[in-house]
Amino acid sequence: MANVSIHKSTTFGGLHTNKLSVFSLMAPVVFVVETLMAWQERLIARDSLRDFDARLLSDMGISVEEAKNEAAKPFWTN
């Protein structure tokens, strides 16, 4: 028996699009945007660690050395 797939397609004006292909093209874009946002969050957090004094770090349970090590990591590493 043959496998048959049915994909809903939509026509906008004279442009005929397949919804499956639109979503498959969106996945890489979403991945890139989410990655960039995670990198930005890490960059901001590590910059903040550089600005905190020893008392604030101690209140958060982080040693000055741990903060320096974390702040020295590149934004693209976890």
Summarised one tens digit per residue, pLDDT across range 44-55 is: 999 999 999 999
Q: How many domains does the chain have?
A: 1
Question: What's the confidence (pLDDT) of residue 11?
Answer: 56
Per the CB < 8 A criterion, the answer to whether 18 and 9 are in contact is yes
Question: What's the confidence (pLDDT) of residue 39?
Answer: 96
Q: How far apart are CA 60 and CA 51, in angstroms?
A: 14
Question: What's the confidence (pLDDT) of residue 60?
Answer: 94
- 50 lies in a domain? yes
Q: How far apart are CA 4 and CA 25, in angstroms?
A: 22
Range of the domain at 42: 27-78
If you ran DSSP here, which 8-state letter would residue 62 be given?
Answer: -
- 68 lies in a domain? yes
